[in-house]
Amino acid sequence: PAPTMATVHGGRRRHVLLFPLPYQGHINPMFRLSGLLHARGFAVTVFHTQFNAPDPALHPDYRFVSVPNGSPTPVLVGIKDVVAQMMELGAACEAAFRDRLASVLEEYSRDAVACLVADSHLLPIIEVAARLSVPTLALRTGSAACCACFLAYPMLFDKGYLPVQESQRDMPVLELPPYRVRDLPIVGEDGGGQVRELISRATTAMKISSGLILNTFDALERRELEGLRRDLAVPVFDIGPLHKLSPAGGDSSLLLPDRSCLEWLDAWPPESVLYVSFGSVACMSPRDLVETAWGIAGSSVPFLWVVRPGMVSGSADHHHDHHLPEGFEAATHGRGMVVTWAPQEEVLGHRAVGGFWTHGGWNSTAESICEGVPMLCRPYFGDQMGNARYVEHVWRVGLEVGGDLERGSVEAAIRRLMTGDDGAEMRTRAGELKKAAAEGTVEGGSSCLAIDKLITHMLSL
Ligand code: UDP
């Protein structure tokens, strides 16, 4: 029978401690996971940085422990800053976390604490827990394929795939099909320095933990999961798609979603609207924004576009449609809506939405697949290139829009997705994956079984 109540002798609740990495794409899956564990009887304590702190009022059942992260975090201007910041955050709160963890352990009593679930990018936090004898599970918020890539990083350098040489960008990585060199998680000109360090730390975090939790599922990444289970000594739990398994949605949003767009969508026929969003971090050049805008305008397709504060490089002001080219609003009058932040899961689940222009973050990709929405992927950095590769070549539920953005090709790609024959085929395949995802989330399905295994494991630690 499935373990349901996470109790110790005497009926006291077991505690699970969580520490998310404070970015939207990492916070969301961690909170979905916490919801799931809470529903299974665990008492939840969330440690969090002051930076991007969650709102405790939205989670009255949880206890929150704020951990100071030192000097104020600098304004981010690009992905290199994000990588640097990601590495700094764990180290910056290490000492303060140690003190807070020690007092929590004293308060709850050591036996009552099952484990800490920490983001795999928080190695210093995982090490502190180990020193205080608290078992840890690492949550990786990317795909299993990306995780395999992380583990393969030393090999990729040994074999000369990395650092990337311009002439080799289209070369297939034979050990990691269907990746090409250009699809590997790298950052522009970084040459592998800082990113290599980031990946090496995440790999260590996974290896020294008592298990790895992935927000993916069997029907999507069976082969990749088999590979990970072969290569890693720790158990791997493929408990995704977390947003479909856990109650509550939207309550971990750092920005306020504009819910009026759902009503706006109501007026459109099924599968007619293109949803456009680049996630919470990706930043585009002013030129790309202009070409994207005119491509959308030229396609004649109805659209809902998230233009986030800070989404365009070099712009510090926070007015949502300020960056859109002059004349865009008039040219698209009556068939477009622009918002600063959307309730994305609900938008993708709305019957009017027929396609998603995405940066290909893992959450966005999984959310789109689970609603049967085909994608145009415009990857920017990190795991996004690899996700786009899988979308186009493995699941065949979308297309990558690569190279220099140009309004004519943007327009053609949108038409192909929304009204073309191959767009319809991609939509059919996305619908099949949606069905497979849903089958995993019912009793006895692969995701539910993985959750049962995870909970049994947590209670055995
Ligand atoms: N998201 C949202 N509203 C938006 C844009 C994004 O709620 O307008 C959510 C989206 O549903 C996803 C997360 O923000 O859960 C973004 O994560 P992802 O991994 O796709 O990208 P990242 O922001 O990490 O690059």
Q: What are the pLDDT digits (tens) for 391-448? A: 999 999 999 999 899 999 999 999 999 999 999 999 999 999 999 999 999 999 999 9
pLDDT category of residue 455 using cuts at 50, 70 and 90: very high
Tens-place pLDDT, residues 216-251: 999 999 999 999 999 999 999 999 999 999 966 668
Q: Which residue from 362, 363, 147 is spatially nearest to 243, judged by alpha carbons?
A: 363
Catalytic residue among 15, 26, 48, 359: 26
Is 119 among the catalytic positions?
Answer: yes
Q: Find the mean pLDDT for residues 269-292.
A: 95
Atom 6 (ligand 1): residue with closest C-alpha? 279
- Kindly state the average pLDDT of the residues 71-91: 76
- The amino acid that residue 295 corresponds to is G
Higher pLDDT, 84 or 430: 430
Any ligand 1 atom below 6 A from CB of 364: yes
- H or E stretch including 383? none
* Peptide bond between residue 185 and the one before it cis (omega within 30 degrees of 0): no
Closest CA to 306 of 282, 278, 272, 346: 278
Summarised one tens digit per residue, pLDDT across range 371-380 is 999 999 999 9
Work out the mean pLDDT of the chain and round it to a whole number: 92
Helix and strand numbers, DSSP H then E, in the chain? 18, 13
- How buried is 27 (Cβ within 10 angstroms: 0-12 exposed, 13-18 middle, 19+ buried)? buried
- Kindly tell me if the per-residue pLDDT of 321 is higher than 50: no
Task: Report CA(280)–ligand 1 centroid distance (Å).
Answer: 6
Regarding the beta carbon of 341 and ligand 1, being less than 6 Å apart is answered yes
Q: Name which of 357, 354, 305 is nearest 329 in CA terms.
A: 305
Of 225, 116, 223, 146, give the one whose Cα is nearest residue 450.
Answer: 225
Ligand 1 pocket test, pick from 364, 365, 375, 378 with the greatest ligand atom count within 8 Å of Cβ, gives 364
Peptide bond into 241 cis (omega under 30): yes
Is 438 strand, coil or helix? Answer: helix
Alpha helix positions (H), 238-383: 242-245, 260-266, 286-299, 328-331, 344-349, 362-370
pLDDT confidence of 267, banded at 50, 70, 90? Answer: very high
Torsion of CA 70, 76, 80, 86, to 10 degrees: 40
Please give the number of the atom of ligand 1 that sits closest to the Cα of 28: 15
Contact 212, 140 (CB under 8 A): yes
pTM of the full predicted structure? 0.96
* Beta-bridge partners for 304: 275, 337
Chain centre to alpha carbon of residue 98: 27
The single residue of 119, 218, 238, 288 carrying the catalytic annotation is 119
